[in-house]
Chain A
Amino acid sequence: DIQMTQSPSTLSASVGDTITITCRASQSISNWLAWLQQKPGKPPKVLIYKASILESGVPSRFSGSESGTEFTLTISGLQPDDFATYYCQQYNSWTFGQGTKVEIK
């Protein structure tokens, strides 16, 4: 199985901050990488697919990038609605990172 190692597990930040979450794949997944946001008691919502393409309706403060097997989600100018848990997911064979909880500092 392809392992996805996500970091950090928790991130404390303030409104307006720019934050970065990283995911590393154990082997090549091309760009078959999505970023998901989940809020308590809700299903996940896809933010980005193919490593860097913004899903329709997602604010432009979210962005994704890739470098080999390392993938990054950046939120520029954190908004109150962004405090949530974020997961990376490789959809070559469907495995997920362990999640990053973004909490208010």
Chain B
Amino acid sequence: QVQLVQSGAEVKKPGSSVKVSCRAPGDTLSNYGVSWVRQAPGQGFEWMGGIIPIFGTTNYAQKFQGRVTLTTDESANTIYLELSSLRPEDTAIYYCARERTLYSGYAAIWGQGTLVTVSS
């Protein structure tokens, strides 16, 4: 069964950057659309952006334009989310999510989540 494995929790200072990874052991992650979604404590979900590595395409939510970057390391079968200029309100659980098949569109498989805490 396909699973997504994310990197561990991070604690960051305001103004710094964080890079979270998402890999799929035994699967080729670059063949699918992968999105990143975050969930602030006790809150709902917020889409940040998506990437289709096989086509080299990225799409970012307007709210995060200029602060978020999605990249791929195909040799490591890993996708990265980098968020810069961190503020306390960026404290959240960050999830990667893969679509079931290319262009099916919906988030069929989710990572376990990575807690990012931004605090001075």
Contacts and interface: CB of A to CB of B under 8 A. Distances in A.
A82 interface: no
B11 to A, nearest CB: 19
Interface string A27-67: 00000101010000001111001100001000000000000
Given A43-B95, A43-B112, A43-B113, A96 B107 contact: no
Contact of A87 (B45, B50, B111): B45
B70 to A, nearest CB: 14
Tell me if B's interface is mostly helix, strand, loop or mixed. strand
Nearest to A44: B110
Contact of B47 (A46, A87, A95, A97): A95
A87 B44 contact: yes
Given A94-B50, A99-B44, 10 more contacts: A44-B107, A44-B110, A46-B108, A49-B100, A49-B106, A89-B107, A91-B107, A95-B47, A96-B45, A97-B44
A60 B42 CA distance: 29
Interface residues of B, number: 19
Interface of A: 32, 34, 36, 43-46, 49-50, 55, 87, 89, 91-92, 94-99
Tell me if A's interface is mostly helix, strand, loop or mixed. loop
A11 B108 CA distance: 26
Contacts of B112: 43
Contacts of A98: 44
Interface of B: 35, 37, 44-47, 50, 61, 95, 100, 104-108, 110-113
Contacts of A36: 107
B92 to A, nearest CB: 13
A45 B105 CA distance: 15
A94 B35 contact: yes
A46 B45 contact: no
B110 A45 contact: yes
A49 B106 CA distance: 7
A75 B113 CA distance: 27
B8 to A, nearest CB: 15
Nearest to A50: B106
A43 B110 CA distance: 6
